[in-house]
Structure 1
């Protein structure tokens, strides 16, 4: 295979970057800090194609700096890369083998991938705040459950939980301010008019809407990871599952919104119909969450207010 554009695979860790350049077949390891990355980028030819595995937030600095240098960046989902390794019969998993795998994946699949673009400032701010709040809520829940069986320790834990609650309220205020600063406060209010959707879910939906230019609601649902994977072969029909791509916190908030909507007059009958069809409670809530997301997408796309219908179409 003739390689015209230099292709580089980079496995990212908190402290180190493992690199593999396909055309020269060279491997290297660099420190994951700004000065080292900038120095290395200066040694590259123009217009390289760089595949980076998404790793928490550790890949963001590298992706930003490489993008500023004019290189094409492809951020590869770890789940997809893992399946690719299995598909080609890969056995070893080390940082260097992952870097080579990323370069190979990009060389073969580049035409099917979309180059990465940096998120706007408002998106990053909202994403950071929502993730911090999610971490806070998970920690508070874990503490509450852990100390529930010990009354004395639970009493001593109470002031800690109260402080966490105050911090949660403070984060909620910052989310609202971030929406105002980004000019999204009115759009968030439109989403909040939908039954079951509260301020945080509205903020999360606006966060997702900020990240891309979606052709239709199907593309928006796929971005949220609420699209369904079909597994069929001959007479075999496997169980359908959500792709769960994208931000898990947005899906969690939408699930909570669906639970709230299922108790409202607008959606309760529809929810009960799903259960009567034999769907499990979680399956019915997923369908409801998907419908709420589609309606929110339509409101954000058209900039129109929410007008509840007798028979709400998802």
Structure 2
């Protein structure tokens, strides 16, 4: 017997829930997004004689994390879905009305039709590492912005930027320290990082980003699912004679993971014999340089996933060079 579907549209202070009944219609209800009141959501389905639930929500940064973890601990099957997938589903339904309650019902219908894979919560150590790396990324972005502004700044503005850059340099250094220490506090994570750095093109920082952004390896059935999570799966654009565009990356995924793979892919194309052969062959076939980099990024992520799954270091014979 399939579980009853529960669509959830979440925001900072509240969330709208849509319970899908046997007749396909949805029963709406609004709840407070306060962890102390989450128990109210558990009692509501019981009134409709529901015992098994598959809850589905969009990946909305920090707003849904506590609820997803609560439902998981309560025994629900939980799916946390990229909002772009829900948006695409809505286009297929020609849905024009957009309210929180309509969105909750839409998410429920998406879940019933697609049955997305179950979500697994991150371990505390992975969550901590992810938070540290994202903080570092944020600080480095601000630092680069300030450096760009300094090139044309003068007088008081230049002094202000220089002062801010000094602060940022210190903050970046203070953030890097616990990142390094974090791996030594968790030997299993350090072992995973060390395995990834056996791949030519991936250094310690890139390995840390990959580990932080893919989360739990066991949450993915295969390398293609990881590539989809990163938005690195190719999208064909063909429709009769009217549309025949070049394939492109979907980009419907984790932008941080994609960004973290960009420079490693360029290095790997130059120095990783396996990926150099692969990239050069694509270039010889007439692929654009950015298309080749995207393909190398995807292969690099496939390699990383295979190494983490097998718990074995890089082997140049591990992956076929066929695209």
Alignment TM class, shorter chain as reference: 0.7 to 0.9
Aligned: 1:298 with 2:306? yes
Aligned CA-pair RMSD? 2.9
Once the two structures are superposed, what CA deviation does each residue of 1:253-282 show, in whole Å capped at 9, x if it has no partner? 110212333454856676566555443332
Structure 1 Cα separation of the partners of residues 83 and 111 of structure 2: 14
Distance 1:95 1:15 in 2: 13
The whole-number CA distance in structure 2 between the counterparts of 1:67 and 1:301 is 24
Question: Could you report, residue by residue, the CA deviation over 1:187-234 in whole angstroms, capped at 9, with x for unpaired residues?
Answer: 312322333222121112233263435454334333332221223234
- Distance in 1, matches of 2:272 and 2:4, equals 58
Q: Quote the residue 2:141 is aligned against.
A: 138
Question: What is the alpha-carbon distance in structure 2 between the residues aligned to residue 83 and residue 227 of structure 1?
Answer: 16
Cα distance in 2 between the residues matched to 1:21 and 1:302: 40
What are the ranges of 5 or more consecutive residues in structure 1 without an aligned counterpart? Answer: none
1:151 and 1:272 map into 2 onto residues whose CA distance is 46
CA distance in structure 2 between the partners assigned to 1:91 and 1:209 by the alignment? 35
The answer to whether the 8 A contact 1:53-1:78 is kept is: yes
Give the direction of change, closer, same or farther, for the CA distance of 1:245–1:44 in structure 2 (3 Å limit): same
Alpha-carbon offset, residue 98 of structure 1: 0.4
Q: After TM superposition, list the pairs within 5 Å mapping 1:260-299 onto structure 2.
A: 260-264=267-271, 266=273, 274-275=282-283, 277-299=285-307
In the other structure, the counterpart of 1:21 is 19
Equivalent runs, 1:156-305 vs 2, <5 Å: 156-182=160-186, 183-207=188-212, 208=214, 210-235=216-241, 236-264=243-271, 266=273, 274-275=282-283, 277-305=285-313
Q: How many residues align?
A: 309
Deviation at 1:83, TM superposition (A): 1.3
Number of the residue aligned with 2:45: 44
Partner residue, 2:63: 58
- For the residue of structure 1 that corresponds to 2:79, the secondary structure is strand
Q: TM-score, normalization: structure 2?
A: 0.83
Structure 2 unmatched ranges of 5 or more: none
Contact kept, 8 Å, 1:10 with 1:20, in 2: the verdict is yes
Question: In the superposition, relative to structure 1, how do residues 102 and 210 fare at CA in structure 2: closer, same or farther (>3 Å)?
Answer: closer
d(CA) in 1 for partners of 2:167 and 2:204? Answer: 21
Distance 1:41-1:281 versus aligned 2 partners, 3 A rule: same
> Could you say which residue in structure 1 is the equivalent of 2:159?
155
CA separation of 1:38 and 1:186: change in aligned 2, threshold 3 A: same
5 Å-filtered alignment, 1:50-89, equals 50-89=55-94
Question: Distance between the aligned counterparts of 2:311 and 2:76, measured in 1?
Answer: 35
Q: Which residue of 2 aligns with 1:11?
A: 9
Could you state the TM-score of these two structures normalised by the residue count of structure 1? 0.85
Single out whichever of 260-269 and 83-92 deviates more from structure 2.
260-269
Q: Which residue of 1 aligns with 2:111?
A: 106
